[in-house]
Structure formats: structure tokens, C-alpha cells
Structure 1
Amino acid sequence: MAFTLRITFSGLCLFVPEPAGRNGTGRMHVLMPGMFGHEHGMERHVPVVSYDAGYLVQGGPSLGVPALASLAGLTLAPVPGQAASTALCGHIVDLKDVTRRPVDPDHLGTDSKKKLVSRITLGAGKITRVSPGVCWEWRPGEFRPIAHRVEWEIPGVEGDRLELVGQPLGGGGVPKRLGTLFPRDSRISLDVLHDTPQELPPVPMPMDHGTPPEPGDPPKHFSAYYGVFGGPVPVVLPRYWGALADAPPLANGCAEIPPEMGGRPYTCVMAGVSA
């Protein structure tokens, strides 16, 4: 028996590929940087995994009731291996073009140096769709969309269940069981969120897509990504320009998640660091 695992990421998430060879595969790490210096109030971010509670029962129906488990201080590898696609589509802005250096390699192992609050390591699958967001000015005169949600899909997961077990981010310690999930119609869907408490399930604040930032404003939390490079690096922040229709098409963009599936396009947007 096999099933498809779909994981939808939202919030402050940095995609970092770790190639295993020359065939474009390896592991994809999704780093969730700490909001150090902003631990209080609206700026605090919480990493969680969420799924429909019906997955907890074999043969269970869709309940429409989210179950949540904290990922704080944990790393999670739902499907181990080194067969994941290491490609980043154009909707994920590449910080390597800015920093000219990779992230601190300790963040991909057991020593996070207290710069991360969580990490997901994907050993199979690939990015399939994104929420393309709005139009940002990346560098002067360079206009582009930047995704605020990313969908990752792993087909052909063997077995009749998925054991979610978080390991301590710094190594050692005691693993934490996050749930045993059973497929429904040969599929399990998870949401991984690294967001402010006000935007987390089960009752996030009502979304208001009709109130964009002021022109020239950056996404509020984007600068946290630059803290995981192990030293001083140049910093470039996107600046809000306008609606998605104002952005030119991307030659290497991903398929798009339907806009009615939610997500806030203005606050936490995605980034990556190419290999």
C-alpha cells in the first residue's frame, strides 16, 4: 500500500537544498529562523504542524477540525532519504544572489547555533504549486512575484500510516511523537506553519486581502532570513509594488494554488538559497 503526502508550507520558511549528486536530487531543508529580538507580541512566530483530526483514526472521515502539534525546538523528517528534487522554482526568491554564500552548514545538521526554531527535512518529492502572492520590487527596477505558500508533494510513500516524530533540533534529548496518521483516499495532507499566534489554526484572524501595505514597504519579517548565514551578509528586502497582475510573468514559475485556499500575501513571504 502506498499513499501521497502533501505538505503545504506557510509563514517564515527558507528552502535550502542539499544535493546528494549530479542528478538534481538530495534533500530539501526548510528552515524556520527565530525572530530574535522580536520575541514579544505580534512579531513572535510559532512553528506548528497541522492536519485534519480525521487522519488520526484508520478509515476516519474528514472532520474539518485541525489538530496541531508544536514544532518548536524540533526537526522533522516525515519521509527520509536523498531522492528529493533540489530545484527552486522562480516564485521563491534566491538569497544566494544577494549573500553570495550558503547558509551556515550547522543549520542542516544537529547544531542550529540557536538561530532556528524548527527545521523540516524532505528526503523525497518536489515543489508542485505555490501561492504566487503580489508584485514586489526586489532590486531597483526588478519587479516579480514572491510566493507566500509552497506546496510539496511526495508520491508513493510506502506503508499504511505516517508516524510523525520530531527530533530535538540540537541533537540528543528525547524524540517527540506528533501523531500517527492514516491515509484517506490514498492521501495525507499536512500544513506546516511558521507564523504569528494570531494567524494559526484553529481560529486565525480574519484575512483582509483588501488592505495592502504602503508602496515601498517590505514584508515585515523578511530580514530574519539573513541571520542564518553565519556572519554579516548584504541585505536586500522586497518592497511592495502592487497587485499580482503588475508583476511580469516568470519563465520558471510554479503552478499556482487557487487563491481561495487562503494565505496572507503581504507579511511572511518565502525565500530560498540555491545550492
Structure 2
Amino acid sequence: MAFTLRITFSGLCLFVPEPVSGGGGRMHVLMPGMFGHHHGPEDRHVPVVVYDAGALVQGGPLLGVPALAKLTGYSLAVGQGDTASTLLCSQIVDLAEITGRPVDPDHLGPDSTRKLAARATLHAGGITRVAPGVCWEMRPGEFRPIAHRVEWEIPDFPGDSLALVGQPIGGGGTARDLGTLYPRNGLLSIQILHETVQELPPEPLPLEHHPLPNPGEHPRHFSAFYSLFGEPVPIVLPRFWGMLEDAPPRTGGCPEIPPDAGAYAYDCLVAGAGAGGGTGGGGGT
């Protein structure tokens, strides 16, 4: 029996659409390593899958206890049929427009270089909601929100469970069983996070450790995205401008995740590289 699979991405994640011939496509979510960017232990990012531990038992109750499966060095494929929407919400800044080139195609295949910490490839569904964050100045005079949390849904995921299997991102090696999960009332929710260790469940740092940036301050880890373009490219870093209400309205925006479910709006941001604009929408399997 089919169910809805909801995946929430947060942290340093680059959404890269890949159209396929005949329509449809797949969406790659690249999680860059921090090689050569930040060397302090407090800047280390760990990619993980997070789910309620109760989802491991068919028919049992949800427990409110997060279980984590580390994704470092692995690629996770979800869905079937290459029917995924390749549209990016306008709250996701498109770095291909800034660099003038796509990401290195090696990052999308089975022999990814060491610049990737992990990757998820979504073969069905689409973006449904984003946490739009705060107001940034991306380029001089360009004031905009930049999302920091993205929801992806596959509304008709086939079967009665989701088997999570990580494949070595560099090719070869042994697959890793990350758990078989069961939905409740037709819905299975998981998270894929690429956050610093101190931001991960079960006890992320409290709000007082996340003060607002100073005006003009850059998000600390955003530059890591530019290492995925294969050669030197122009690097533009957003600068903090103000709260969300200071950003002008944008066309092509997706519905918003409620602020109380949106994590921290000014630490790790997400980005895209590809077909920008448009609205997200769930595709079938």
C-alpha cells in the first residue's frame, strides 16, 4: 500500500536538478566536504539520516526518540522512475546563475570525488515547502530570502516500507543498511541533515548560542558550495541584511515551513545549481 514520504533537508545541502530525456528527472542533493575551508572542530559537518526510532517497528507507536544513521561517504537513492520535479523554489539561491557553469558532473555519478561528504538522489516527488530564513544581500542591491530548510515529498511511495541503503559514494565497497522504516497513518517523515556536530539531535545547541549575525556578516560555511563546480569560479557570499520582512516579495516561491519548525535561519543555508525559478511540486513514483 502506497504512502507519503516526507524528507526534510537542513544544513549545507546543494540541490542540483538533472532533467532526463522524455521529461521528468531526478534531484541530487550534494553535501560538500569542508576540505580546505574551515579547520576548527566546531566547523565539522556530519551528514546523517534522522527518523523516529519507533518507525523501525511495523505497526508500533512513534516514540519521539530520534535515531541517527551516519551518511558520511555514502550516496542514498530514494524513489523510482526519474519522475522527480526539477524545479527549485525562488527562496533557494541558484549558484549556477552566479558561477555561469553547472556543478562538476563527476559529483552526480558513481565515482564522486572526495569533495563530497554525502549525496542523496531523489527519483520522484518534488519540493513542497521551504523555511525562507532571513533577508540577505546576495549581490550589491539584491535583497532576498535564502532558504535554510527544504521539505521534499513523494506522495505515492510504493509498498509499505522504506529501505534505506547507502552506496559508497566513490564506487566499489560495501553497501550500508541504514534501516527499514514503516509509515504511520499513511505518512513517513525523515530528515537528512548536514550540520555541525553541535547542531545534531538529540540535543542541538539552544537558541542563545545562535545570535543574529552582524549587518554585512557572511554565513560561515557558504563558500564550501563553490568547491563543487570543478574549476575556479566567481565566489559571491550573501551578507546579512535583516529579518525576513525586510526582503522584497519574490515570484516563484514555495509555501513556507512554519517558523517553529524551521531551525536556525542564519547559520547553514541551502543552495541550488541548475534550473532556478518556478514552484516546487510533488511528482509521482
Structure 1 counterpart of 2:29: 30
3-state SS of the aligned residue for 2:207?
coil
Q: Contact 1:216/1:240 (CA < 8 Å) preserved in 2?
A: yes
Q: Deviations over 1:189-248 (max 9, x none)?
A: 010000000000011111249721000001110000000111000000000000001001
Pair 1:39–1:168, CA change in 2 (3 A) = farther
Moved over 6 A (4+): none
Structure 2 counterpart of 1:124: 124
Q: Contact 2:4/2:188 (CA < 8 Å) preserved in 1?
A: yes
Structure 2 counterpart of 1:171: 171
Q: Contact 1:130/1:151 (CA < 8 Å) preserved in 2?
A: yes
Question: What CA distance in whole angstroms lies between the structure 2 residues aligned with 1:207 and 1:176?
Answer: 34
Q: In the alignment, does 2:233 pair up with 1:230? A: no
Calculate the TM-score normalised by the size of structure 2: 0.94
Q: Contact 2:210/2:264 (CA < 8 Å) preserved in 1?
A: no
Q: Contact 1:209/1:264 (CA < 8 Å) preserved in 2?
A: no
> Greater shift after overlay, 227-236 or 32-41?
32-41
3-state SS of the aligned residue for 2:78?
coil
Structure 1 counterpart of 2:263: 263
Structure 2 counterpart of 1:104: 104
Q: Deviations over 1:132-171 (max 9, x none)?
A: 1000001101100000000000011111111000000011
- Give identity over the alignment, percent: 66
Question: What CA distance in whole angstroms lies between the structure 2 residues aligned with 1:187 and 1:170?
Answer: 32
Question: What CA distance in whole angstroms lies between the structure 2 residues aligned with 1:39 and 1:71?
Answer: 21
Q: Contact 1:48/1:72 (CA < 8 Å) preserved in 2?
A: yes
Structure 2 counterpart of 1:21: 21
> Greater shift after overlay, 260-269 or 99-108?
260-269
Q: Contact 1:135/1:241 (CA < 8 Å) preserved in 2?
A: yes
3-state SS of the aligned residue for 1:48?
strand
> Greater shift after overlay, 31-40 or 206-215?
206-215
Q: Deviations over 1:63-100 (max 9, x none)?
A: 10000000000000121331000000100000011111
Unaligned runs of 5+ in 2: 276-285
Structure 2 counterpart of 1:7: 7
Structure 1 counterpart of 2:242: 242
Question: Structure 2: which amino acid aligns with 1:60?
Answer: G
Question: What CA distance in whole angstroms lies between the structure 1 residues aligned with 2:262 and 2:274?
Answer: 27
Question: What CA distance in whole angstroms lies between the structure 2 residues aligned with 1:22 and 1:138?
Answer: 35
Structure 1 counterpart of 2:251: 251
Question: What CA distance in whole angstroms lies between the structure 1 residues aligned with 2:241 and 2:84?
Answer: 34
Question: Structure 1: which amino acid aligns with 2:14?
Answer: L
> Greater shift after overlay, 84-93 or 105-114?
105-114
Alignment of 1:44-193 (within 5 A): 44-193=44-193
Question: What CA distance in whole angstroms lies between the structure 2 residues aligned with 1:32 and 1:119?
Answer: 6
Q: How far apart are residue 117 of structure 1 and its match?
A: 0.4
Question: Structure 2: which amino acid aligns with 1:32?
Answer: M
How many positions carry a matched residue from both structures?
Answer: 274
Question: Structure 2: which amino acid aligns with 1:123?
Answer: H
